[in-house]
Amino acid sequence: MTINTLTFVFHWIFMVLTIHYTIIVFAVQKLSNNSSFFYIFKYAAICDVFSCIALAWINLFRSTLFSPIYLYTSHLAAAIECSCITISLLLNGMMAINRYHSTFVSYSLYWKINKLPKWIIILTIIGLIINVPFYLDDRDFELVNGTSWKMTRYPWNTAYINWMLNVLIACVQTVGVIATAMTLYRLHVHNIVYTPERNLIYVTLVHIIVYLILLYAYLSEIFDPTGISFIQRNFSVVLEFLSISMNSVTIILINRNIREEYKTIIFFCTKKRHSNPTVSVISITQHPTEYRAMTKVA
């Protein structure tokens, strides 16, 4: 299988996963009104969708990493992707802490829906500030032998970006591991057998595992003086995309309410598409799922 064929296949996979994740955002919307976990997850998912779109652009015009073709649009896509990944990472750390606090009686007091927006705004501002040097990242291009481009990046900026990503992922993953381990410990010690509670922990647990793989890929770039290592050149976009979109796969596998809402959206879109053109209004009189009061989740 050639590189062009693989690239074509990845384009379709990226597109399908991005559409899937977008539907997940709408599916989570209703649950987010009563659940602090899903409220945080919704905004993390929105960031992930924007990251997926930006990564799809970067992968579609792969040559923009190594030549001045579409340089400014490529840099904008990279800035959006890096910012959204940073914010999503911080929100995923917040979700891990949320799961730990949900094992306490005071959980509903400190994790009220009306208190969450300010914390999400604070984490968003922190994520944007962290990425300021990335916004200023610049590249110099030189045509070599009239056939290929030689790219030069500023060493201090490249080093900062690499270390920033590694430190951020390592810190968030450390918090996630500790919070998840303590949550599982409390569930075991206090004999809490609430299944949805355990299932939501798997979202943060899988997120930790896939980002540890991505962390390994980033670490390999620190010691590459060009800033474009073999892993980054060939696999980084795929690894990043799979890492970003993994939450959408995990949440639909482990949560029945999300699956039901997902099916409802698909059913509505399919019915609307295949309905009689003369019919202008489509009404659904009964929702297929009754959402239970989630005392532990919300």
Q: What is the pLDDT of residues 46-79, one digit of tens each?
A: 999 998 888 877 766 555 555 556 667 777 777 8
| pLDDT tens-digit profile, the chain (298 residues) | 565 666 677 778 778 888 988 999 998 988 888 888 889 999 999 999 998 888 877 766 555 555 556 667 777 777 888 888 889 888 988 988 888 888 887 887 888 888 899 999 999 999 888 888 777 766 655 555 655 555 555 555 566 666 776 777 778 778 888 888 888 888 777 776 655 556 777 787 787 777 777 766 666 655 554 544 545 555 566 777 777 888 888 888 888 888 888 888 888 777 665 555 544 444 334 444 433 433 344 4
Please indicate, yes or no, if residue 205 is contained in any of the structural domains.
yes
Please indicate, yes or no, if residue 134 is contained in any of the structural domains.
yes
Please indicate, yes or no, if residue 175 is contained in any of the structural domains.
yes
Domain with 81 in it: 3-263
Task: Output the domain CATH number for residue 171.
Answer: 1.20.1070.10
Please indicate, yes or no, if residue 59 is contained in any of the structural domains.
yes
Please indicate, yes or no, if residue 288 is contained in any of the structural domains.
no
How far is 279 from 216, CA to CA, in rounded Å? 55
Please indicate, yes or no, if residue 58 is contained in any of the structural domains.
yes
- Looking at the 3D structure of the chain, how many domains does it have? 1
pLDDT tens for residues 231-261?
A: 555 556 677 777 788 888 888 888 888 888 8
